[in-house]
Amino acid sequence: MGELRAAIAIGKKDLTVLSRYRIAVVSQIFTPLYQGVIPAFLFGASFAVAGRVVGLEATVGTENLAGFIFLGGVVSGLVATSFWAMAMGLRNEMDAGTLEPVWLTPTRHETLVIGRALGGIVWFLISQIVLFAIGILVFGLRFDATILLALPALLVAIVGMVGVAYLLAGIVLLIRDANFFIDCTNFLFGVASGVAFPVTLLPGLFQAVALLLPTTYAMDLLRQYAIGARPTFDPRLEYAGLILSTLVLYPLGRRFFGRAERIMRVRGSLSQF
């Protein structure tokens, strides 16, 4: 119970800090819009024939371009939350000089990542609601009510991404100056999850990597239920892949995080940056 209260307190603290930087808050909504959504939407629309994106229909079984892009944004946002808010957040504490005191509190160190995950996911939900509202009003975003059937897939994917965040947090603690690493891996993880295009278009080796990620299955299920996209595999197989990859990634991430922490204690590198 104490750990849960600590996690909630960490999440609230992160949200309070973020809310103090209003330009950063606005930027986190609008940057994905003008750097991702609008260029992708106009690029996709440039292939449209008499208002219909026939090419997309041939590729994924639906011509709902706005739906395809905005739903890609949902999983892309989840990946970014895991990489930047949950994992890289520890680096921010390091920069602020508060990581050492936090580490000395009786709270379990794994809880620090869970707390960041709570704060990050609340912000992720708020930003997605705003983006969807903009999508509906400006880009003609439409999706089916069956989108609700994809919620369990998203919830499982969130657990899987917390596992990934543990893994990354361990790496961030070890290499410290992790900005470039997180930036590159965040990009590659999103691409391999199929946020921008179906994973079947990836080169062979990357397709194999894509099948190891929970977000690949969550992305496919979300698009299938929300806009009627053609699934890559049978949905039952996709749910199985999603659950299996989460069951592997979560304990793996926890284990790696614990190992990284032990290495850090031996090296005495907690306060170094």
Partner 1 sequence: MTVSGDLRAFAASARKELRIVRRYPLNYVGGVFWGALLPAVYVLMGQAYSGGSDPRAMQAFAERAGTTQFAGFVFVGYAMYMWLSIILWGPGTALRREQIQGSLEATMLTPVSRLVLLFGPGMSAIPNMLFTFVVTFVSLWVLFGVVPPLGALVPVLVILMIALPAMYAIGALFAAGVLRYGEIGPVVQIVRGTFVLACGITFPVAMLPAWAQAGAGLLPPTYVVEDIRAAVLRGVALPGLVSDLAVTAGLTLVIGALAMVVFGYLERSARRTGMLGRY
- Contacts with partner 1 by CB under 8 A lie at 23-24, 27, 31, 34-35, 38-40, 42-49, 53-60, 65, 180, 184, 187-188, 191, 196-198, 201-202
Smallest separation (angstroms) from partner 1 to the CB of 273: 18
d(CA 169, CA 257): 7
Name 52's bridge partners.
49
First to last CA, the chain: 33
Q: Please identify, using beta-carbon distances, which residue of 24 and 151 lies nearer to partner 1.
A: 24
Give Dmax (Cα) for the chain. 65
Name the minimum Å distance from CB 46 to partner 1: 5
Residues 65 and 36: their CA atoms lie apart, in Å, by 13
Map residue 201 onto helix, strand or coil.
helix
Number of other CB atoms surrounding residue 250 within 10 Å = 19
Residue number with CB closer to partner 1 (62 or 82): 62
Choose between 6 and 60: whose C-beta lies nearer to partner 1.
Answer: 60
Query: Least distance to partner 1 from the beta carbon of 39, Å?
Result: 4
- Answer for the pair 45, 140: CB distance below 8 angstroms, yes or no: no
Shortest distance (Å) from residue 230 CB to partner 1:
12
Question: CA–CA separation, 262 vs 272, rounded Å?
Answer: 15
Residue 79 CB, nearest distance to partner 1 (Å)? Answer: 14
Query: Is 49 or 104 the residue whose CB approaches partner 1 more closely?
Result: 49
Query: What totals of helices (H) and strands (E) does the chain contain, helices first?
Result: 13, 0
When the beta carbons of 24 and 155 are compared against partner 1, the nearer one is 24
Work out how close the CB of 32 gets to partner 1 at its nearest, in angstroms, rounded to a whole number. Answer: 11
- Cβ 248 to partner 1, closest distance in Å? 27
Output 28 or 246, the one with its CB closest to partner 1: 28
Specify whether the backbone of 26 is left (phi greater than 0), alpha (psi in -120 to 50) or beta. Answer: alpha
Query: Both tokens of residue 75?
Result: 């999983």
Q: Which is nearer to partner 1, 129 or 201 (CB)?
A: 201
Q: Is 23 exposed, middle or buried (0-12, 13-18, 19+ CB in 10 A)?
A: exposed
